[in-house]
Every structure is written in C-alpha cells, then in structure tokens.
Structure 1
Amino acid sequence: MTPPARTGSAQAGGAPPSAAFAMRPELLPELFPSDLLDRLSRVASLRPRVIDVFDGPLDAEILITGWGCPRIDAAVLDGAPRLRAVVHAAGSVKGHLAREVFDRGIAVSSAAEANALPVAEYTIAMLVLAAKRVIPRAREYAAHGWSGDALPGVATPGDSGGLTGAVVGVVGASRVGRLVMDRLRGYGARILLSDPYVTPAEAERAGARLVPLDELCRQAELVTVHAPELPQTRGMFDDRRLSLLRDGAVVINTARGSLIDTDALVRHCATGRIQAVLDVTDPEPLPPGHPLLSMPGVLVTPHISGARGRELRRLGEFAVAEVERYVSGRPFKGAVHAADLDRIA
C-alpha cells in the first residue's frame, strides 16, 4: 500500500525543520542569493554543505535540489529516514528522482512553472524571427550581400508578413505551450493545438483550435514543439510527419531533441523546403560539422531557452516560497505526484 504524501513539517511548532541543498555547488549563489538564503534560514535550519554526491547518511527533512543533483533512489532514501520533502529549484524531476521517492510518501515540488517563462519568451522571439524569415535572410545577406529587394512594405517570395494572421501550430499544452499560446493571441496569430489530454473546449479557452497532429502539420506555417519526452512521443516528427509540413514551414523545438527524427529533419531541411530552430537536439550536443549547424534555414542554439544567469533567481524564489508553504502546512504550488510521471517532461 502506498503511504499518503507527507505534507507539513514534522517539527511544526518546535524547532525549524532541517534543510539541505543537492545540486552543482556553483549554482547555489545563482539560484539563492544572500537575501533568499536569509528567507530560507528564517523557516529552516540550513545545512552548510552543498551535496553533489550522496556519500553518507542524509540528516535533513527537506532536500532542495537543482541541476546536477545526484539520483535519489532507494539506497539514498534508506540513509535519509527523516526526509519528508524534495523541493526542486529547476524543471523536470524525472532525471534525479526514482519512483521510490513517491512510493515512500515524500512530498515533491518542482519550479517547472517558473522555468517555463524564459522558454516561452525564447519561443516567441524565435517565432517572430521565423515569421519574418530572418535566419535564412541574414545568412544570405552575409554570404552574398544585400540584394536590395527587402524594401519596407514590399513583400518578396517567401515572406509571410510576420505573426499577424499566421497559422501557428502548438504541439503540447504544457506549461510552456500554454504561455506561448497566451502570448500568441496578442500577435493576432491563428493557433492550432495538438494535445491528447486537452478537450476542444479547453483549447478554445486557450485561444486555439484543437486538431490532430497530422492536420496541424498540414496547415501550420510555424510549428512549435512543447510535448514531453515519453515512449509514445519519441520520434513523433518522423519522415512521414515532416513530409506533411507545407513548403516553407518552420519547426521550433525547445522541448526534447528526441521528439524529432534528426536524420529525417536533415533530409527535409537540406532541400530548403522547410526550416528549423532547434534549442534541443538528438544527439545533444550535435557533433562538430553536423549538417544542421551550417544549413542556411536552420538555427541551432546550445540549450539556452531555459532559465540562465539572472533568470535563475526566479527558480530560487519559487523554491523558497515552496519551503515556506511546507513549513506552514500548506500544499505545494508546484506539487508533483506519482501519477504525473507518465505525462510530464
């Protein structure tokens, strides 16, 4: 029998609960500047060491994790009898939390909501550039000079006129996907959505029309991918589905590289029929000299759409607020449950 999730501090009303950090040590001051550490210290007793390897017992009730956290499995849990909550100051928890964490009733939170915003902002920026055909035009300009045809207000072959009225296909109504749809409405884009967990009424409330993925591929000028990596989504954009894309379509992927068949994408982009913006690839990173890195209609960025630099503080703020909720006995805002694991990134 699976025990119920343990929420609220076991030491409520007494000494503050103990909390430890597990992540790459260099991330701690970026995620938790001194003022956020001060906030944490008012509700929890912080362990000074940042754990980057579990090499002994863990004497903490709350574990605050981040990128680089070692995997927490049954063996780690056996050495952490007081652990009651894991608060992840990043996105997906699937890479470092074994299912045993959930089976033992440990409460889990993720800052995926906070990390979704910079990914959505990156996506919108790339959609704007893609709609203007900025990437191939910039490379053509660099290679051959300005042809002089890009005069204000004068359309040239391949121009779509920007996002206003553009048909944009959103694949996955994830946190990022919903933020992207919310922002696209301000541009006057026509939004198609494909997501097996969303009803037509829910899509309509998001400003989109729900369609099967094949139909989305046939109709959309711009396709942005926000689906999780699951057995059924790996390679969802294979040769057949990429062939459905209309001439001149642009595919933007900020989700997981494995969702697109890389070899098939190379073949379709090499002809110039479709274009791509990839912040994630399969493999990642691409090997030096890979064809996608030099194709005029393809832009590959090094997995930078998520929180970086100053944006990391937002994740720390979310995590601190979650610890405050836990200590006061309130439910997590970013709660992750075992039932979520089969459908989240």
Structure 2
Amino acid sequence: MSTKIAFLMDRKNRTNLFDTEHMERIARLGEIALFNASEALSPDHTAELIEGADIAVTSWGCPPLEKPILERAPGLKLIVHAAGTVKRVVTPEVIRSGIRVSSANCILGRRVAETALGLTIVSLKNIWQLAADTRNNEWGRHYHRVKELYGVTIGVVGAGASGRPYIELMRQFQVRILVYDPNVSAEAISGMGGIPADLDTLLAESDVVSIHAPAIPATNRMFNARRLAMMKDDAILINTARGSLIDEDALVAELSTGRLRACLDVTNPEPPGADHPFRTLPNVTLIPHVAGVVTNGLRSLGAFTAQELEAFANDGLLNGEIDLSRLDILA
C-alpha cells in the first residue's frame, strides 16, 4: 500500500512554504492529501485529511492533534512540523501514541541567529543614530559611541535552536562569549565555544546581551528591574525570543534614563500600543517579529520538510526530531 502523507495546513500556508520542486519530491514518497479550500483549517477538516495517514505535515494554523483526530489515523508514524514550536500541535495524545515528531525549528533558529548577528553589529556600530545624524547634517556627531565586534563581551541567554547558531556565528569574531542556560551542561557550553556563566555575571559583564531562551513559566519576565539594573552602562539588549521574557515596564524605565540600548523583534503584546514608549524612545530599535523566516525564507521550511521525509523513507534518521520528554523546557 502507498504511504499517505496528509498536509494539515491551509492552502495559503502550503503555497507559501512549498514550491513545485518540494511537492514533486514529496509526491515520489507517497500519496498526498491536501486541503484546497480558501478557508481556515478546522478540526473537522483535519480529521478528514488525516484519515488513514502514515505521515502528517503540519504548520501554522493546524489545530491541536487531539484524540478524536488521531483516532482517524491509527497508523500515523511521523509528524513533520513545517514551522517552529510544536507546542500548539503536539498534544498528550500524540506523546502517548509514540508518534515521532520533527520540527523545522532548527531552520528558524538559524535565521533568528543571523538576525541577532546583524542587530549586534549595527547596534555596536550605532548605525541608526549615525544615519539620523547624517540626514540632519551632523556628520559623525555620535562617532564616539561606535564599537567594533572585537574585544567585547557577548552574553547569550539560551543555548538552544537559535542560541547555539548565534554562538557559532560569534566565534567568527574575536570576542568573549558568556553563555547562560540552566538546561545545558557547562561541558556542552564549552564545547560550543562559550564560557558558562550565571545570569547575574553575564548581565554585569556583557556589552551585548542576546536573548534566545524559550517562553516557559520559568523565564516569564526574567529580565526584571533588578536584572536590568545589573547591565553595564551603554550595553545593548537584543530580544529575538519572546516578549514575555522581559518586564517591559522595567525596561522602559531603564531605557528612559538613556543608560541602555535595546533591539526588540518581539514584544508582549504584539504589536505594542500606538502610544507605547518603545515606539518613540530614541535608544530602541523596534522591528515587527521578522527575525525568523519571512517572504522568500519560508521556502526553506518546505525544503527542510522534503529532506526530512526523504530521510525518514531512506534510513529513518531525522535532523529535526524533537525529544518530547523535554517539551516543557523547549521553545
């Protein structure tokens, strides 16, 4: 019997993620079931699509795979999530059923790390301020605040899907890399090229602090008033993780003194209100949650999915397999 591969996503997401080549590669592996209506994918639609499936391909907009849906596919062996976190899709029933789960979070993590690298460089260079000065005929006014990505200390909070590749990128520069992650051993951090540190030390010694931790109860508002006050004068805080990790009122208070600078790809909520200080403070760079994959980058998730399905068919080894026993500490 042919393998059935159910695409549990709406048509818009599917066409954004998968090009013709991706779909042709996947079609060689089995029979594909698609949702072609223009409406959102409902639990009922999902149950119909997954009927008798061996593999499910999920993404944004897929309903949680609850028991009534999974009962329609008792032979389901694999879920490949063509997006980041699987927490909105994977239910306790998925875990109990022993279904393998793979996520493209490794692809998104790399894109996030690249964005964080870009923000690190242009923030240290004070590019936005210099550009504003130049437009205002104030050539080189803030030149004294420019730093190179050389001989500085970079603090990395979280050594997972985006923190690890950010550390890898930082190793291309002559910088000191402090890393805090209570779920990663000191030996593993050293193996990445970082220096294990507690959070307080990292904050006190870093010129740039880049946040890559997951949004879980233990990290909620971990960057509070006390911790933000520990940061060095003129330090830069970069958040490409989740807005919930920062006490935003406390950050506004620190930024209002002019002591710190911040680059925020994420806020809580998104977007911040029209009158929020993040929109007007001169030492804030606010961008609209674009650190992961957008526009042409979405195709990289389709490519990952095709590669993962081919690997599963060939030798069963998956590049993005999730250890579901650690789901509570993952992004």
So what's the TM-score if we normalise by structure 2? 0.92
CA contact (8 A) 1:102 1:337 kept: no
Say whether residues 1:87 and 2:77 are aligned partners. Answer: no
Alpha-carbon deviations, 1:53-109, whole Å to 9, x = none?
121443122110111112212232233333222110111101222121111111111
Q: CA deviation at 1:209?
A: 1.1
1:40-119 equivalences in 2 (<5 Å): 40-50=26-36, 52-55=41-44, 56-57=47-48, 58-59=50-51, 60-119=53-112
Mapped to 2, the partners of 1:274 and 1:135 lie a distance apart of 15
Cα root mean square deviation, aligned: 1.8
- The 8 Å contact of residues 139 and 296 in structure 1, kept in 2 or not, is answered as no
Task: Establish whether residue 258 from structure 1 lines up as the match of residue 250 from structure 2.
Answer: no
Q: Give 2:102's aligned amino acid.
A: S
SS in 1 for 2:35: strand
Residue 329 of structure 1, CA deviation: 4.8
Match of 2:137 in 1: 146
% identical aligned pairs: 35
Correspondences of 1:193-272 after superposition (within 5 Å):
193-272=179-258
Q: Partners of 2:223 and 2:133 in 1: how far apart?
A: 28
1: distance between equivalents of 2:315 and 2:194?
Answer: 38
Structure 1, gaps ≥5 residues long: 1-14
- Separation (CA, whole Å) in 2 of partners of 1:336 and 1:138: 43
Partner residue of 1:280 out of 255, 266, 277 = 266
| 1:262 shift after superposition | 1.0
Structure 2 runs not aligned, ≥5 long:
none
User: In 1, distance between residues paired with 2:75 and 2:35?
Assistant: 17
The 1:92/1:296 distance shift into structure 2, 3 A limit, reads same
Corresponding residue for residue 11 of structure 1:
none
**Which string of whole-angstrom CA distances, capped at 9 and with x for unpartnered residues, describes residues 87-136 of structure 1?**
10111101222121111111111011112221111110000011112234
Aligned equivalents of 1:140, 1:98: Cα separation in 2: 52
Matched, 1:174 2:160: yes
Is the contact between residue 171 and residue 224 of structure 1 (CA under 8 Å) also seen in structure 2?
A: yes
In proportion to residue count, which structure has more helix? 2
Q: What CA deviation, in whole Å up to 9, does each residue of 1:257-314 have, x standing for no partner? A: 1011111111111111111111111111212121101111101111111111221121
Tell me which of 282, 294, 303 is aligned to 1:296.
Answer: 282
Secondary structure at the aligned position of 1:96 is classed as coil
Pairs aligned (count): 324
Contact 1:99 1:338 in 2 (8 A): no
Deviation larger for 238-247 or 319-328: 319-328
